[in-house]
Amino acid sequence: MTARWLGDCAATGTITFDVDAESAILAHDLKYADHAMIMSHQAYGPDVGVPRLLDVLDQVGIQATFFMPGWVAKVRPRLASTIVDRGHEVAHHSYSHQSPTDLTDAAQHADFERACEVFASQGVEIFGHRAAMWEATSSTLDLVREFGLSYDSSLMGDDKPYRISADGVRPLAELPVHWSLDDWEQYAFLPSPAVGNVIESPAKVLEMWKLEIDAMLEFGSLFNLTCHPFLSGRPSRAVALRSLIEYGLEQGMRFATCRDVAADVLADSQVREVHQRHLITGTGDYPQTPGR
Amino acid sequence: MTARWLGDCAATGTITFDVDAESAILAHDLKYADHAMIMSHQAYGPDVGVPRLLDVLDQVGIQATFFMPGWVAKVRPRLASTIVDRGHEVAHHSYSHQSPTDLTDAAQHADFERACEVFASQGVEIFGHRAAMWEATSSTLDLVREFGLSYDSSLMGDDKPYRISADGVRPLAELPVHWSLDDWEQYAFLPSPAVGNVIESPAKVLEMWKLEIDAMLEFGSLFNLTCHPFLSGRPSRAVALRSLIEYGLEQGMRFATCRDVAADVLADSQVREVHQRHLITGTGDYPQTPGR
Amino acid sequence: MTARWLGDCAATGTITFDVDAESAILAHDLKYADHAMIMSHQAYGPDVGVPRLLDVLDQVGIQATFFMPGWVAKVRPRLASTIVDRGHEVAHHSYSHQSPTDLTDAAQHADFERACEVFASQGVEIFGHRAAMWEATSSTLDLVREFGLSYDSSLMGDDKPYRISADGVRPLAELPVHWSLDDWEQYAFLPSPAVGNVIESPAKVLEMWKLEIDAMLEFGSLFNLTCHPFLSGRPSRAVALRSLIEYGLEQGMRFATCRDVAADVLADSQVREVHQRHLITGTGDYPQTPGR
Amino acid sequence: MTARWLGDCAATGTITFDVDAESAILAHDLKYADHAMIMSHQAYGPDVGVPRLLDVLDQVGIQATFFMPGWVAKVRPRLASTIVDRGHEVAHHSYSHQSPTDLTDAAQHADFERACEVFASQGVEIFGHRAAMWEATSSTLDLVREFGLSYDSSLMGDDKPYRISADGVRPLAELPVHWSLDDWEQYAFLPSPAVGNVIESPAKVLEMWKLEIDAMLEFGSLFNLTCHPFLSGRPSRAVALRSLIEYGLEQGMRFATCRDVAADVLADSQVREVHQRHLITGTGDYPQTPGR
């Protein structure tokens, strides 16, 4: 019997977009606000990439999930609601795109809450969260529960969804991500802040991701793809993404929003469950004073 | 109705060369002036690459645009006029190839003006500008207007040309560039100053750029390619560039100088217009004191 | 006459897995113990990668060698014995995965011994060793002898096994490794700690390693492959590894555990022998005070 | 009329090996002398790579040039003469493999002379020079003349050989190198000292170099390839190099030693001549005080 979140398919795909826009750069250093080229490089995401990708999603007929920092939603007030109106999910991606591992717990709490307020003020209902830079701490998962969300999509402990339990509170669904299913490592490049190394051809990326689809169909995995509109919204990359989704559909994959997959994960008792305390490896037996 | 700058074609190509020669390295550190290998590596561009690329352009029968630092034109006094005599455009690429983001406004102004003086003294008329390192500031666009030029080619806010307006002054045409349409990220390598990571095969680069042409024909974009004669002037890369242009011509692309495309952009009221104040994202809602 | 360690085959393969789990990251900085994403990224290795790879090994019907830090065996008490029960070899990979070149001799000794104690307490017999990061010092080989092991697999002096002799003590078998036969350089990526540059497609890796098998069949070499379960345990990479082993079997390669190959190497007097003192190049003729 | 150095062929190839062994690492830091893995990684070059490559050269029937630091020749006293006895050229590659740009003129002179003494003491006649790291200064070319050599192979000012003239002294032949014709950027990898980024497949390298041969046959260039025995001596890379040379021979290329090509270059008045003072670009018009 296949897992509920697989539907009747051999694998499920969630196509996700991190709509970071300028925040991904401003989180490095506010000085970049005056660098016209870098700001235009990032603005391409919401201004050109998102409209093109929405058209691509229409062409292949699937729903996707757009993780958006609250700041991006605030400075472009119609962006989130337009995406929802086109039939897709908008989800929480911090307010400022600062990494949780760089913030105090209080600062992380304030940042998390501020994004919730932006989405609430725009009438956009939020069901899940992805940490900026994927760099969740153990506090992050507590915030996901505190603010009433049902899933997180920042961890890498499996290639199937799992549940994160904790004492006396409800479990969360975890829809795991991975570096190899992220367009950033394939396409991103900036000299300053130093981002990326090689700009790969969409031909290589398409081949690599098709191979992962093939293997995930064998193993019954979640193909949880992370794309960035300022990267994958460029012409040949948008075409490659369209080809990839068409390929998955031809192979019989199911594509769904993260929200829908998370609901299935929480309703299926067969899904693997990990206690939140086990997310952080105890270092009690690890040498505390390295012998150097 | 297609945009005027597309002609009757599905996409337009502008083949551009940044003839930086030694300036790209001297801007890092003047000590490299004594490193014979590095200087010869850069001199290859104007001495060997430019003549070969001019021949390639003759073979495919198109006109291109050569962005040149004023210093390069000055130390090689016949370089710019030879390029013009062969039927191509020479354009402004700063005097020293120092990044505008590293200069005070006064220093940027002096550098900009000095290049204009060199070209004027050589009888080479200039119509457009590309910032060194593409690192334009908001002042850069003011300089483009002040010195009477009609277009800039340093920003990345779209894959179609756009107009940059400002209050009480004439608009500029912007012919946007992108890291993925630059031979630097594919071919450049030096240990010191540290430049590049991997040296890619022209086969990969040709495949990647053909895919972008294919997609730009679908979306009606500007294929604005940036090459460097010290890189793309090498034998197999020059052959790959020739193949690429031949491929574009076979697909029905129009190739033109930046000057000609910019004139069409300024004459076509349908082109997207962006106000200059919007090039710099306001950071009023961005956390001014990151909570770290 | 072919060497004993080749069997009657043209080349021998040893498929090895370094089951580093979280230790590879904690050795950088203990702060990462609180980074939930990074810890989950590493836990994927023993939790998901090892079970999948054990299945893959069953499918192709070969025995492999799993190098494991003692700390990993201690915090996951059934991991090593499960691997042994499935028919494979578990071998010594330090206790903490700290590099020997960063440790004093005393600290390296204590680390080495602590791992031996863990494996002894779990009833797992150990025959060989691989240095953390492959960064063996001359003391490392003395430890391998002192603790009664028969082989090391950390050096790169050949692509065939060799023997390391020393005065008045028994020789060791060396099963050499190499960067080009390691999945780390092809697949690993983390922003912090900074790991990796490009994430390659399994298609590229499979092609590259098949070419090495082809050439090693010509030269009579040891195809000693190093994989990491958190990397090569991912779906399409596990499939590529399965294809690689199937390819080797089709070409007539022998696959064996490191323990078995080492036994043949020690029993065959025709194998090349290197005295331990020659592993470290004398620098007596090298300029002691570089003239800078 | 084709140039004398081309013979009657459309292009000439010089296959060269930089036999750096441990010196390439010791020049970074003498501490690496105690790192057994790194030393074995480098020793593979002369111990395993050179014998295999000599066999490969026999198979394809061409003569090659081996650039060797004097220190390498000294600590392996039969290495240089064995290479000469097999029909190839041994040439000067500094004594210590320290970069000339890091040395005072006096230190560079002493280093240069010391290598000459080693080769003289071994009865190995030297005709040409390649700077360590290719990092020649203007003093380097004076040393080449002072010690009676006829050619240098460190600069990158062309893809055909050229002559370097100077007032009142004899000209030198320059056989230019390039980063794209070097196996280092394709294959080298070490974490510490940090070397390399991606380990490429020999399939990619072979394709890239075949494309350069194809183009050089069109343009009449010198295919001056730099390989390192510790890199290109590995099984699949040695096979790829053999395939490359076979390909060049099939296309009608001539392969010769650097010494023979240099002799033709010096005897042919049609060859491009550059005055040594022009190797270093004057910076008189370059901003001496960058305006930052």
Model confidence pLDDT, tens digit, residues B100-140? 999 999 999 999 999 999 999 999 999 999 999 999 998 99
| CA A217 centroid distance within chain | 21
CB nearest to C215's CB, from D22, D43, D236: D236
Task: Assess whether pLDDT exceeds 60 at residue B290.
Answer: no
Task: Assess whether pLDDT exceeds 70 at residue B291.
Answer: no
d(CA B216, CA B254): 12
CATH assignment at residue D18: 3.20.20.370
CB contact under 8 A, D110 and C291: yes
Among A236, A241, A243, pick the best mutation site for testing chain B contact (most B Cβ within 10 A).
Answer: A236
CB atoms within 10 A of CB A85: 10
Query: Which residue(s) pair with D68 in the sheet?
Result: D92
For residue D137, give how far its alpha carbon lies from the nearest alpha carbon of chain B (Å). 5
Q: Are C208 and D201 contacting, i.e. CB atoms less than 8 angstroms apart?
A: yes
**Percent of residues, chain A, with pLDDT higher than 70:** 96
Structure confidence by residue, pLDDT tens digits, A100-155:
999 999 999 999 999 999 999 999 999 999 999 999 998 999 999 999 999 999 99
Determine if the pTM surpasses 0.90: yes
Contacts of C197 in chain A (CB under 8 A): 197-198
Q: What is the DSSP letter of C45?
A: I
CB contact under 8 A, A280 and C238: no
pLDDT of residue C285: 77
Cα end-to-end distance, chain D, whole Å: 53
Please give the full DSSP string across A58-108, using - where no structure is assigned. HHHT---EEEE-HHHHHHSTTHHHHHHHTT-EEEE--SS---GGGS-HHHH
Structure confidence by residue, pLDDT tens digits, B206-223:
999 999 999 999 999 999
Task: Assess whether pLDDT exceeds 70 at residue C292.
Answer: no
CB contact under 8 A, A285 and C75: yes
Query: Could you say which residues from 48 to 107 on chain B have a Cβ atom under 8 Å away from some Cβ of chain D?
Result: 48, 52, 71, 74-75, 95-96, 98, 102-104, 106-107
CB contact under 8 A, C281 and D111: no
Task: Assess whether pLDDT exceeds 60 at residue C290.
Answer: no
Would you state the structure tokens that stand for residue C227, as one six-digit string? 């994989």
Among B179, B197, B221, pick the best mutation site for testing chain A contact (most A Cβ within 10 A).
Answer: B179
Task: Assess whether pLDDT exceeds 90 at residue C193.
Answer: yes
Predicted confidence band at A291 (pLDDT cuts at 50, 70, 90)? very low
Predicted confidence band at D289 (pLDDT cuts at 50, 70, 90)? low
d(CA C260, CA C252): 18
Task: Print burial letters for A167-195: b (CB count within 10 Å at least 16), e (below 16).
Answer: eeeebbbbbbbbbbbbbbbbbbbbbbeee
For residue D12, give how far its alpha carbon lies from the nearest alpha carbon of chain C (Å). 28
pLDDT of residue B162: 97
Task: Assess whether pLDDT exceeds 80 at residue B150.
Answer: yes
CB contact under 8 A, D198 and C180: no
Does a structural domain hold residue A92? yes
pLDDT of residue D2: 75
- Residue given tokens 């402004």 in the structure block: B92
CB nearest to A71's CB, from B101, B154, B286: B286
- Closest among C117, C112, C217 to C154, alpha carbons compared: C112
pLDDT of residue A281: 63
CB contact under 8 A, A215 and C236: yes
d(CA D81, CA D193): 31
Task: Choose the weakest-confidence range: A275-284, B20-29, C149-158.
Answer: A275-284
Measured between CB atoms, does A244 come within 8 Å of chain C? no
For chain D, the chains sharing at least 3 beta-carbon pairs closer than 8 angstroms are B, C
Give the number of domains in chain B.
Answer: 1
Shortest CA distance from B140: residue in chain A: A36
CB contact under 8 A, D103 and C292: yes
Does a structural domain hold residue D4? no
Task: Assess whether pLDDT exceeds 80 at residue B242.
Answer: yes
Query: Which residue(s) pair with B275 in the sheet?
Result: B165
| Span A178-187, average pLDDT | 98
Contacts of A41 in chain B (CB under 8 A): 156-157
Predicted confidence band at A269 (pLDDT cuts at 50, 70, 90)? confident
Task: Assess whether pLDDT exceeds 60 at residue D290.
Answer: no
Shortest CA distance from D76: residue in chain C: C281
For residue D9, give how far its alpha carbon lies from the nearest alpha carbon of chain B (Å). 17
Domain around A53: 9-278
CB contact under 8 A, B208 and A198: no
Contacts of B103 in chain A (CB under 8 A): none
Does a structural domain hold residue B27? yes
Question: In whole angstroms, how far apart are CA B281 and each of A43, B152, D180?
Answer: 9, 19, 40
- Closest among C85, C109, C131 to C226, alpha carbons compared: C131
For residue D10, give how far its alpha carbon lies from the nearest alpha carbon of chain C (Å). 31
Q: Are B197 and B135 contacting, i.e. CB atoms less than 8 angstroms apart?
A: no
CB contact under 8 A, D279 and B48: no
CB contact under 8 A, C48 and A211: no
- Name which residue leads in pLDDT, B71 or B281: B71
Query: Could you say which residues from 145 to 204 on chain D have a Cβ atom under 8 Å away from some Cβ of chain B?
Result: 154-159, 176, 178-180, 185-186, 197-198, 200, 204
CB contact under 8 A, B27 and D290: yes
Predicted confidence band at B279 (pLDDT cuts at 50, 70, 90)? confident
Measured between CB atoms, does C217 come within 8 Å of chain A? no
Structure confidence by residue, pLDDT tens digits, B51-64:
999 999 999 999 99
d(CA B6, CA B220): 8
- Closest among C223, C259, C260, C249 to C60, alpha carbons compared: C249
| Angle C224-C160-C173 from CA coordinates, rounded to 5° | 85
Measured between CB atoms, does C135 come within 8 Å of chain D? yes
pLDDT of residue B70: 98
CB contact under 8 A, C159 and D236: no
Does a structural domain hold residue A143? yes
Would you state the structure tokens that stand for residue A140, as one six-digit string? 């992050």
CB atoms within 10 A of CB C169: 12
CB contact under 8 A, A239 and B214: yes
Does a structural domain hold residue B84? yes
Structure confidence by residue, pLDDT tens digits, C95-135:
999 999 999 999 999 999 999 999 999 999 999 999 999 99
Does a structural domain hold residue B3? no
Among B23, B201, B237, pick the best mutation site for testing chain D contact (most D Cβ within 10 A).
Answer: B201
Mean pLDDT of chain C: 95
CB contact under 8 A, C291 and D103: yes
pLDDT of residue C283: 60
Predicted confidence band at D282 (pLDDT cuts at 50, 70, 90)? low
Task: Assess whether pLDDT exceeds 80 at residue C51.
Answer: yes
CB contact under 8 A, D219 and B110: no
Task: Assess whether pLDDT exceeds 70 at residue D179.
Answer: yes
CB nearest to B189's CB, from D131, D141, D179: D179
Contacts of D139 in chain C (CB under 8 A): none
CB contact under 8 A, B286 and A30: yes
Query: Which residue(s) pair with C132 in the sheet?
Result: none
pLDDT of residue A2: 75
Task: Choose the weakest-confidence range: A273-277, C183-187, D57-61, D90-94.
Answer: A273-277
Does a structural domain hold residue B46? yes
| Span C212-236, average pLDDT | 98
CB contact under 8 A, A48 and B158: yes
d(CA A162, CA C169): 53
For residue C195, give how far its alpha carbon lies from the nearest alpha carbon of chain D (Å). 10
Contacts of C287 in chain D (CB under 8 A): 95-96, 98, 111
pLDDT of residue A284: 64
Predicted confidence band at B285 (pLDDT cuts at 50, 70, 90)? confident
d(CA D161, CA D277): 18
Task: Assess whether pLDDT exceeds 90 at residue C277.
Answer: no
Please give the full DSSP string across chain A, using - where no structure is assigned. ---GGGTTSS-EEEEEEE--TTHHHHTT-GGGGG-HHHHHHHHHIIIIIHHHHHHHHHHHT---EEEE-HHHHHHSTTHHHHHHHTT-EEEE--SS---GGGS-HHHHHHHHHHHHHHHHHTT----EE--GGG---HHHHHHHHHTT--EE----S-SS-EEEEETTEEEEEE----GGGBSHHHH--BTTTTB-S----HHHHHHHHHHHHHHHHHHT-EEEEEE-HHHHTSHHHHHHHHHHHHHHHHTT-EE--HHHHHHHHHH-TTS-EEEGGGSSPP-TTS-SS---
Measured between CB atoms, does A136 come within 8 Å of chain C? yes
- Closest among D233, D194, A37 to B280, alpha carbons compared: A37
CB contact under 8 A, B33 and D215: no
Does a structural domain hold residue C290? no
Is the complex ipTM more than 0.85? yes
Shortest CA distance from D109: residue in chain C: C291
d(CA B140, CA B151): 11
Among D281, D283, D285, pick the best mutation site for testing chain B contact (most B Cβ within 10 A).
Answer: D281
CB contact under 8 A, D36 and C215: no
Task: Choose the weakest-confidence range: B28-32, C153-157, D127-131.
Answer: B28-32
